[in-house]
Amino acid sequence: MDGEVRINPYLSGNFAPVRSEDDFDLPVTGEIPAGLRGTLYRTGPNPQFQPIDPNYHWFTGDGMLHGFRVADGKVSYRNRYVRTPKWELEHEHGRSLFAGFNPMLSDPLTAGKDGGVANTNILWHAGRLLALEEGHMPFEVAAGTMAPKGYAEQYKGKVTAHPKIDPKTGEMVWFGYGVGDMPLSAGMSYGVTDAKGVVTRRSDFQAPYSAMIHDFLVTENYVLFPVLPLTGSLERAMKGLPAYAWEPEKGGHVGVMRRDADVSTIRWFNVPACYVFHPMNAHEVDGKIVAEVARYDAAPLFPMADGSPGLRTAARLTRWTFDLGANSDAIKEEAIDDLDCEFPRFDERLAGGAYRHGFYAGDTTNAKSVKLNAIAHLDLATGKRQVHAFTGGDMTSEPVFTPRSADAPEGDGWLTAVVYRAAEDRSDFVVFDALDVAKGPIGMAHMPRRVPFGFHGNWVAD
C-alpha cells in the first residue's frame, strides 16, 4: 500500500546486526568433549551503521568475527569487527559511506578509498589468521584477540574467500575474479601460496564472461573454475539495473587446468545454466575428475538482468564428472541427494582426494531460503543420510568438521555449529558426533544473545 515502509529482510530478524563487541564465558549443557581444544572462528556481514543503499544486500555488510574458544569442556565467546580501512573511515565519520553493490550511491568521501569488508570466511594458514572476502586481499587478524593486522599486501589483488589448502604440500591454492582496472570485468587470477605463507604464483586470464565466482575446486593435480551465469555488468549497473543478475541464456562453463600448467591451457567444459556457491570436494579417478557440489537450478538471492525478482530455488547435492580423455566438453550431472542444502563440508585432511563422508546444513521445510534448520551427514559410499532437524524455527550455521586426532579415521571427530534459537532470540554453540548426527548435539554452550546469520567458519586447533 502507499506509504508502506519496506523492511529490508537482511536488516531484520537474525540477519539484523549486533553492534556490541563482547566477551562471555558460556554455560554448558551436555558434554563438550575433552579432546576438542581450539577455537571455532566464524564471520558474517554486520553493518556498523545503517546502510545508505535502500536495497542493501546481505553480502556487502562489514565483517564481524565470532570466536568460540573451547578447552577442558568449557567454552568462551568473543566477537570483534574486522577493522578494515572501510570500517575505520566510517567509524571516523560516524555513518555509512560505502554503498556495496551500487557504488553510484556511495558518499564522495569514498573516492579512491578501499571498501573491503572481510565478511565471508576466516581461515588459518602458515601461522596467519586471514579474514577473507572475494573483492579484496586477505585481511590478517591476530589469533585469539582478533585485533587487526592489516591487508596481506603480498597478494597484490583480489583473492577468493574460498582458498583450498593442500593437505600434502601445505600450499594454499586460490583464485580471484573481477580482476583488472575495470569493475565487474571478466579478468581472473590463479594463485598459489606456499606452506610458509609466501605467494609463489599469480597468473591472470580471461573468463568466458564476467560472473560472480564464489568458490572453486582443487584436486591433487587440477584446478577447476566454475563460471556460471550470475553475471556482472558495469554497463547494466550504470543504467540503474543490477550489478549482478541471473542470465541463464549465457549457459555455464567450468575451466579445468593442471595446477602446474600455464593458464593458456585451460579447457572449458560446458554445463546447462545452473549456479553453485559451494562445492564439497573433488578428486581424480581413471582419467576423470569427480566433484560433488551444492547445485541450484538458478542463482538465489539475486534478481534477473532486467531488475525483476529472481527465482526462489534451493541447492541439492549433485555429482559432476569431467572426462578428461573424451572429445566432448559436456559435464555429466547426477543428483546424489534430495534434501535442500547449503554449506557442504567434509574431512579436509582428504581435500582434493577420494573421500567418503560429507556434511552440510539442510532444510527439511522446503522453504527455499538461506535459512537452514538441519545438520546432515551423507555417506557417499552407501548413499545413506543422517539428519538432525532443529524445531521451533531454530536455524543452523554451516557445520565444521574437526578430527578426533591427527591420525583418526576419516569422519571420526566432531561437527561444531552455531544455532539460532528463534523463540529466545539468542544462539547456542553446538557439538555433534560427526558420524552420529541423528543423535543430535552431544554438548551445547549457551549464548546470552544471538549471533547473526553469517557465512563461513573454520576450526583452529590449539
Taking only the tens place, the pLDDT of each residue in 25-39 is: 999 999 999 999 999
Read off the pLDDT of each residue in 401-425 and give the average, rounded to a whole number. 98
- Looking at residue 94, its pLDDT comes to 98
Question: Is residue 321 a contact partner of residue 288, using CB atoms and an 8 Å limit?
Answer: yes
Taking only the tens place, the pLDDT of each residue in 348-398 is: 999 999 999 999 999 999 999 889 999 999 999 999 999 999 999 999 999
- Looking at residue 53, its pLDDT comes to 93
Taking only the tens place, the pLDDT of each residue in 336-345 is: 999 999 999 9
Read off the pLDDT of each residue in 250-275 and give the average, rounded to a whole number. 98
Kindly give, in sequence order, each residue whose CB lies less than 8 Å from that of residue 323, ignoring residues fewer than 6 positions away.
Answer: 287, 288, 332
Taking only the tens place, the pLDDT of each residue in 69-100 is: 999 999 999 999 999 999 999 999 999 999 99
Q: Is 456 among the annotated ligand-binding positions?
A: yes
- Looking at residue 225, its pLDDT comes to 98
Q: Is 278 among the annotated ligand-binding positions?
A: yes
pLDDT band at 102 (very low <50, low <70, confident <90, very high): confident
- Looking at residue 124, its pLDDT comes to 98
Read off the pLDDT of each residue in 235-264 and give the average, rounded to a whole number. 96
Taking only the tens place, the pLDDT of each residue in 146-169 is: 999 999 999 999 999 999 999 999
- Looking at residue 5, its pLDDT comes to 56
Read off the pLDDT of each residue in 131-156 and give the average, rounded to a whole number. 97
pLDDT band at 4 (very low <50, low <70, confident <90, very high): low
pLDDT band at 319 (very low <50, low <70, confident <90, very high): very high
Q: Is 283 among the annotated ligand-binding positions?
A: no
pLDDT band at 1 (very low <50, low <70, confident <90, very high): very low
Rounded Cα–Cα distance for residues 313 and 246 (Å) = 12
pLDDT band at 104 (very low <50, low <70, confident <90, very high): confident
- Looking at residue 279, its pLDDT comes to 98
Q: What is the mean pLDDT of the chain?
A: 96
Q: Is 377 among the annotated ligand-binding positions?
A: no
